[in-house]
Structure 1
Amino acid sequence: MILTISDLHVSYGAIRALKGINCEVAEGEIVALIGANGAGKSTTLRTISGLMRPQQGTITWQGRPISRCQPHQIVELGISQVPEGRRVFARMSVLENLEMGAYSRRSRAEVRADMERVFARFPRLAERQHQLAGTLSGGEQQMLAIGRALMSRPRLLLLDEPSMGLAPMLVREIFNIIQEINREGTTILLVEQNARMALAVANRAYVLETGEIVLTGPASELVNDPAVRKAYLGEN
């Protein structure tokens, strides 16, 4: 396993957001975290990224504990996050946003080559590279947020609600892109309220409820689990 989370407890003041969760991600997988609003999905990603500190428990990346690392150190180790709500730099151009994703890298030639790869994957970003990010559509901003994260050359990509606010056709496009990125060698931990889409692309999944993992298993099995179908797929 390249990422292991053990007995992780995280709180917002008096509110216990995570209550001792355990999960792991193997190299090359797409692992999904599904659950309702407030279940602790985004908190899990933010803690992995170093944006929150656990009260208890460990996060291990390639055998190294990272719970006390700073966010920039975690990016340099090979973990990059696409945040919920895109969070592009609205007053900066598409090009400048992508350059910000590569801020920790030293080789300008490699950065330029990766920029070309992002533009090849997202032709609309190439067409709009000098446009302010805040003027892009929601789907284009999501592509930019993914492209920006890829500019750090992550081994593990954390995706927080990539389908949020997008039309169904764009959701399918974004999930196709997620699968392509994974096939090219990037491991993915996916937080997603659209449980049907998440389970369709994931190898394995964890179901979070009020800060606790209540189900785990192969995505192909969870999609047929009666409790999952009733709670997250809208079926009786």
Structure 2
Amino acid sequence: MSDRTTTIPGPRAEPTATGIPLLELRSVEVAYGGITALKGIDLEVRQGEIVALLGANGAGKTTTLRTVSGLLTPRTGQVLYAGETLAGVPAHKIVQLGIGHSPEGRRIFSRMTVLENLEMGAYRFKSVSRKDLDQVFELFPRLHERRTQLGGNLSGGEQQMLAIGRAMMGQPSLLLLDEPSMGLAPLIVAQIFEIIERINSLGTTILLVEQNAAQALRLANRGYVLETGQIVMSAPASELLNDPRVREAYLGEVAEG
């Protein structure tokens, strides 16, 4: 990776919506014990989009991604992928359907090498594809340099690259990214967002959970805002970026008037 400063592009145009959404949540409710974390949310991600999911801590963003990837089971509602329900489909089968998940906190295998971590990402296949590995190393040259090092010895930015690279080894059509910029220096954040855009340009649809709302909305096509388990706003990213409520709540700007 170069050390130059990367300029994140402005908000992308909303794509033409055609066909069935790649991902659709219909009235999804998820509860932990007696606490309802998601309260009947509706959300869709169409093929080729980057969709940003914004909200404060505890709003339900990570719960949404964990529900899509099969780690949590909705109490009510439906999760549809390419028009088919994911009800009853175990998490490892959801990966095989083409949904990759780079979780909050990275969760790499710290006692395994970079290469072994990436190989784990390809477990759905009988063998590791050299083509997929080369693509990950092209996206993340630093991982190629560190390929024999233990994951636990990497910097925070390198571990985030590894978490995304591991998810990409499963050849996902839909990539779920949970807080990819968390705890990283601004220069590394810019590099990570540049790579996310490149992954999308290669054909991978992305649902992005990110507290860095400005960066996320500049990258995304559309966005949703979650508050206490409910979708309270949904609009093209450019509209959300310029909405006074969003700017005050998530961009640290005080609305005038």
Q: TM (normalized to structure 2)?
A: 0.90
**What CA distance in whole angstroms lies between the structure 1 residues aligned with 2:52 and 2:88?**
24
Equivalences for residues 81-160 of structure 1 within 5 A: 81-108=101-128, 111-160=129-178
Instruction: Tell me if 1:234 matches 2:248.
Output: no
Cα shift at 1:209: 0.1
Q: Which runs of 4+ in 1 moved over 4 A?
A: none
**What CA distance in whole angstroms lies between the structure 2 residues aligned with 1:131 and 1:13?**
41
**What CA distance in whole angstroms lies between the structure 2 residues aligned with 1:133 and 1:67?**
34
**What CA distance in whole angstroms lies between the structure 2 residues aligned with 1:216 and 1:63?**
21
The secondary structure found in structure 2 opposite 1:145 is helix
Q: What code does the residue aligned with 1:181 have? A: I
Q: What code does the residue aligned with 1:203 have? A: N
The secondary structure found in structure 1 opposite 2:242 is coil
Given the alignment, which residue of 33, 36, 40 partners 1:16?
Answer: 36
The secondary structure found in structure 1 opposite 2:172 is coil
CA contact (8 A) 1:78 1:155 kept: yes
**What CA distance in whole angstroms lies between the structure 2 residues aligned with 1:202 and 1:120?**
23
**Paired residue for 1:207?**
225
Q: What code does the residue aligned with 2:84 have? A: R
**Paired residue for 2:199?**
181
Q: What code does the residue aligned with 1:55 have? A: R
Q: What code does the residue aligned with 1:210 have? A: T
Cα shift at 1:106: 2.3
Q: Which runs of 5+ in 2 are unaligned?
A: 1-20
Q: What code does the residue aligned with 1:47 have? A: T
CA contact (8 A) 1:48 1:67 kept: no
The secondary structure found in structure 2 opposite 1:21 is strand
**Paired residue for 1:167?**
185
Q: How many pairs align?
A: 234
Report the aligned-residue RMSD: 0.7
Per-residue deviation, residues 62-84 of structure 1 (Å, max 9, x unmatched): 11100321011000000010000
Q: TM (normalized to structure 1)?
A: 0.98
Cα shift at 1:107: 4.6
**What CA distance in whole angstroms lies between the structure 2 residues aligned with 1:188 and 1:170?**
20
Q: What code does the residue aligned with 1:192 have? A: E
**Paired residue for 1:61?**
81
**What CA distance in whole angstroms lies between the structure 2 residues aligned with 1:203 and 1:146?**
20
**Paired residue for 1:195?**
213
**What CA distance in whole angstroms lies between the structure 2 residues aligned with 1:66 and 1:232?**
32
The secondary structure found in structure 2 opposite 1:59 is strand
Given the alignment, which residue of 99, 112, 115 partners 1:79?
Answer: 99
The secondary structure found in structure 2 opposite 1:90 is coil
**What CA distance in whole angstroms lies between the structure 2 residues aligned with 1:51 and 1:8?**
14
Identity %: 64
Q: Which runs of 5+ in 1 are unaligned?
A: none
